[in-house]
Amino acid sequence: MSRDALLKDFMDRLEKTAPGETEFHQAVRHVVRDTITIEKAHGDYTAAKVLERLTVPDRIIGFRVVWQDDAGQVQVNRGWRVQFSNAIGPYKGGLRFHPTVSPSMLKFLGFEQVFKNALTGLPLGGGKGGSDFDPKGRSDAEIMRFCQAFMRQLAPHIGPDRDIPAGDINVGTREIGWLFAAYKAHALEFTGALTGKGPSFGGSAIRTQATGYGLVYFVEAMLGDLNDDLTGKRVAISGKGNVATHAAEKALARGAKVISLSDTSGTLWARDGLDQDTIAWVRSQKAAGGDIADPPSKALRFVEGKTPWSLEPDIALPCATQNELSAAMVQELVDGGARIVAEGANMPLTADAQDKIMAAAILHAPGKAANAGGVAVSGLEMSQNSHRQFAPAEDVDRKLKDIMRAIHARVADNGREGNRIDYVRGANIAGFRKVADAVTAMGAI
């Protein structure tokens, strides 16, 4: 059977057993496309049905979250934790609070997390969780009460050797503090069952910055492979959250010209490049729940309803959310002469955009490799907690840089085709091989 026929057969069966889960199908299709012939060529993998096993989560825990708003009204939300695979280590992955969160979305994120965590070289399995709770317009006290109610339901299912959640969209250091306190009250012990904690209670230095910084280190490794560097490169970034602003900060520090940040209402465009003060202003606006439509300098323009991709960047870093970049936007990048798209967000390209970019002469680094810096520093936080130690920022930053370079090397080894690297294929194959070896070694269980 050809690769396409094998893929179709696999996806037909998956779509029957997991109907309507479009984001999950999209994520699985891209991994299976690159790995199904490897499974078939490897007798042990085929006998163990590795891909079939890796596309069904170990379990999905679902629960009701009941909490009271400031007016004393009872509010009811839904929460989930998808424990996808602990083949190479305890479940690890973020929590997302957003009205669009659903089991399908968490399955796609948990599935991707399995391979991302494998690529870091650390002993981390994959999972993802969250709630359809929308923190927009909620007071701090309401968000805290929601975090406490959410953790009352989740706490029995996590722990430092079982499942260690972290933050994701709308779950930052502040929320992790509230979640951790509720976990601690349930477990009656102080253990590192969450990462992304504040530095005064076990959090690692630079965990907050790690995904954005790591993304830039990965891009530098890509450029290094081309005997080039970031100096003077025009970098367009979408999003204005944790990943976007820290990627902007680091790219600027490494000599690039950062020409945009954005949010759901439009793009902040800096023809001559953003400076660190403006990035700090964007971060404080986001933290205060404000918008970025009224920038502090005349050299900046906020363009409503626009994305950054027509600004003719050399490098595009989508750092906002899944499926934010369409095929038409990839075409804008091609027309503008972009050379690199590296994903800060998870699966920011639609299925059509992924097909389009494969045919273009743009190097495309998938999130499972390029945004693995956050989970890598979470892994370092787990080690620090186990050893009751705190590593200084310079040490963690150096280790983060080493890990991102090592991920680049693993991906390049598996994705090099002549003098070009297929980063998507390389990441899928390297992550798959590591997990598949563990699954196979453990027998039929």
Enzyme catalytic residues: 128
Provide the mask over 313-332, with x wherever binding to ligand NDP is found by CB under 6 A and - wherever it is not: ------xxxx-x--------
Q: Closest approach of Cβ 245 to ligand NDP, in Å?
A: 8
**Measured from the CB atom, is 10 or 217 closer to ligand NDP?**
217
89 binds ligand NDP (CB under 6 A): no
Q: Give the one residue of 135, 167, 273, 415 binding ligand NDP; rule: CB under 6 A.
A: 167
Q: Is 428 strand, coil or helix?
A: helix
Residue 356: its H or E element: helix 351-359
Could you list the beta-strand ranges (E) of 107-243. 126-131, 163-166, 234-238
Q: Is 302 strand, coil or helix?
A: strand
Rg (CA), the chain: 21
Residue 393: its H or E element: helix 393-415
Q: Give the one residue of 110, 202, 313, 374 binding ligand NDP; rule: CB under 6 A.
A: 374
Q: Give the one residue of 145, 240, 356, 364 binding ligand NDP; rule: CB under 6 A.
A: 240
Please give the Cα distance from 282 to 298 (Å, whole number): 15
112 binds ligand NDP (CB under 6 A): no
Write the secondary structure of 197-216 as one string of H (helix), E (strand) and C (coil). Answer: CCHHHCCCCCHHHHHHHHHH
∠ Cα 76 172 389 (to 5°): 125
308 binds ligand NDP (CB under 6 A): no
Q: Is 296 strand, coil or helix?
A: coil
**Measured from the CB atom, is 48 or 98 closer to ligand NDP?**
98
Q: Give the one residue of 34, 39, 112, 263 binding ligand NDP; rule: CB under 6 A.
A: 263
Please give the Cα distance from 337 to 434 (Å, whole number): 36
110 binds ligand NDP (CB under 6 A): no
Q: Closest approach of Cβ 320 to ligand NDP, in Å?
A: 3
Q: Scanning residues 264 to 283, which ones bind ligand NDP (CB under 6 A)?
A: 264
Q: Give the one residue of 25, 81, 250, 286 binding ligand NDP; rule: CB under 6 A.
A: 286
| Residue whose C-beta lies closest to ligand NDP | 241
126 binds ligand NDP (CB under 6 A): no
241 binds ligand NDP (CB under 6 A): yes
Distances (CA, A) of 134 to 219, 292, 444: 33, 20, 41
238 binds ligand NDP (CB under 6 A): yes
Instruction: Please count the residues of this chain forming the interface with ligand NDP, following the rule CB under 6 A.
Output: 26
Using an 8 Å Cβ cutoff, are 69 and 85 in contact? no
Using an 8 Å Cβ cutoff, are 34 and 3 in contact? no
**Measured from the CB atom, is 154 or 171 closer to ligand NDP?**
171
Q: Give the one residue of 117, 195, 209, 371 binding ligand NDP; rule: CB under 6 A.
A: 371
Please give the Cα distance from 192 to 201 (Å, whole number): 9
Look up tokens 């900046």; give the residue: 300
**Measured from the CB atom, is 323 or 331 closer to ligand NDP?**
323
379 binds ligand NDP (CB under 6 A): no
209 binds ligand NDP (CB under 6 A): no
The DSSP secondary-structure symbol of 39 reads: H
Structure tokens at 231: 């100096």
233 binds ligand NDP (CB under 6 A): no
Q: Of the candidates 206, 258, 208, which has an alpha carbon nearest to the alpha carbon of residue 230?
A: 258
Q: Give the one residue of 346, 354, 414, 440 binding ligand NDP; rule: CB under 6 A.
A: 346
100 binds ligand NDP (CB under 6 A): no
Q: Scanning residues 381 to 420, which ones bind ligand NDP (CB under 6 A)?
A: none
Structure tokens at 174: 């502040």
297 binds ligand NDP (CB under 6 A): no
Please give the Cα distance from 410 to 372 (Å, whole number): 13
**Interacting residue ranges for ligand NDP, rule: CB under 6 A:** 167-170, 211, 238-244, 262-264, 286, 319-322, 324, 344-346, 371, 374
